[in-house]
Amino acid sequence: MKKKLKSPASSRRDFIKKSAIVIPAFSIVPRFVLGGTGYVAPSDKITLGFIGTGKQSGGLSSRFLELADVQMLAASDVDSKKLELFKEKVNSFYTVSTGKDNYQGCDTYAMYEELLERKDIDAIIVCMPDHWHAKASIDAMKAGKDVYCEKPLAHTIKEGRKMVNAAEKYQKVVQTGSMQRSWENFRHACELVRNGYIGEIKTVKVNVGDPAVPCDLPDEPTPDNLNWDRWLGAAPLRGYNPVLSPPYTDTSWPMWRAYREFGGGIFSDWGAHMFDIAQWGLGMDNSGPSEFIPPTDKNAKRGLVMKYANGIEMTHEDFGKGWAVQFNGTEGKLEVSRSFLTTDPEKIIDEVVGDDKIKLYKSENHYQNWIDCIKSREKPVCDVETGHRSASVCNLGNIAYQLGRPLKWNPEKEKFEGDSDANKLLTKDYRKPYKV
């Protein structure tokens, strides 16, 4: 059995315990030290740093701020206005929750490397565009931090494997932001599939958005508050466009995600959710499809067929239910999305999966699950290997759409068979000094 690592908060707890020895027996201890219902001692809190304060950070930061056993200490971003707004949000939250007037405990950094130097920060949340995920996460792990990284985990196959290797090397707890794994309806759906309630699975249909395309947006003047060169990072040098990084007054989703240089299209953006559920339901968290067959029409945005070695076929197609997954078995059909879970026959949905059946990892709060695992040193519900494999389906699918020809993939070696051009796309060219 692998020895569990010492919790990041252990050193603080040990210090406090040792210090308590010298406290006189009749000292009067303040109420806030003794605590009460729901009270978490500062030494038992996981301290967090946030990298990336754009649109996605709004909801994600709220999920962590509401956890009693965390403390947000710092944030970093290349956009000074977005960073300032994030700081104001955090400080305002703690002003109210702690009862301290004008709380100012959230520090900001233009360069995340400075944030990572802080020894009082246990863990890092990476909430940046996809092309930054691997470098920021690996840098954080090297600095001794556990990591929560938004989905899709990595921009390329090679980056994802390097993230897995770094987590193993530095013994870090890494949670992928595929939070559907912590939703009861998705877990129940996958347990029904895994336990044969719809029979032997033959096909899976996944409907998500379009594959990635090259970025052809025109150049526009760069805002003074944005370090554009730093935003680009490893991506090819090009001019600023607000579609890629909207101003802080624009609350729409930034569409860097549609372009190959920065993301994987909506195919990856939502595929990291829905292909993740398909992989979970099929028991393929440590593997993936072995064949990718794109549609004959090279302009098609649906129609990719992905074949697993066991004969199951998964297709990227619109089956009329929005972004969703459809499992088709010899004895029925199951469809699941964020808004519904349906089965045919209908009675299947009410089946209670007993303890003698396959039971999947149960997490009821994706964010608390990561925090709990930081303390226990156990794997979270969507650990780094799982996140890498689900992102791989997206990355490989994009390559198939891009090349427009059938590809044979070896999930164990993580290489295409007999296709050197396809293998070149498992990585990318990096601008110095941003190579992963």
Q: Which domains does the chain have, with CATH numbers?
A: 41-179 (3.40.50.720), 180-212+265-424 (3.30.360.10)
Both tokens assigned to 117: 């130097």
Distance (Å, whole) CA 393 – CA 305: 11
Distance of CA 157 to the CA centre of its chain: 15
At 37 the pLDDT is: 52
* H/E segment holding residue 189: helix 184-194
At 92 the pLDDT is: 97
Instruction: Find tokens 């760069």 and name the residue.
Output: 222
What single-letter amino acid sits at 419? Answer: D
Both tokens assigned to 165: 């290797």
Alpha helices by DSSP H, 21-108: 31-34, 55-65, 80-98
At 343 the pLDDT is: 98
Contact yes or no for 152/130 (Cβ under 8 A):
yes
Radius of gyration over alpha carbons of the chain, in Å?
A: 23
At 38 the pLDDT is: 61
Distance (Å, whole) CA 28 – CA 33: 10
DSSP state of 178: -
Per DSSP, what are the bridge partners of residue 109? Answer: 76
Q: Which of 256, 258, 229, 232 is nearest to 242 (CA)?
A: 256
At 8 the pLDDT is: 55
| CA dihedral (104, 110, 112, 118) positive or negative | negative
217: helix, strand or coil? coil
Q: What's the whole-model pTM score?
A: 0.91
**10-residue stretch averages of pLDDT, the chain, 436 residues long:** 49 39 33 49 90 97 98 98 98 95 95 98 98 98 98 98 98 98 98 98 98 98 98 98 97 97 98 98 98 96 98 98 98 98 98 97 98 98 98 98 98 98 98 95
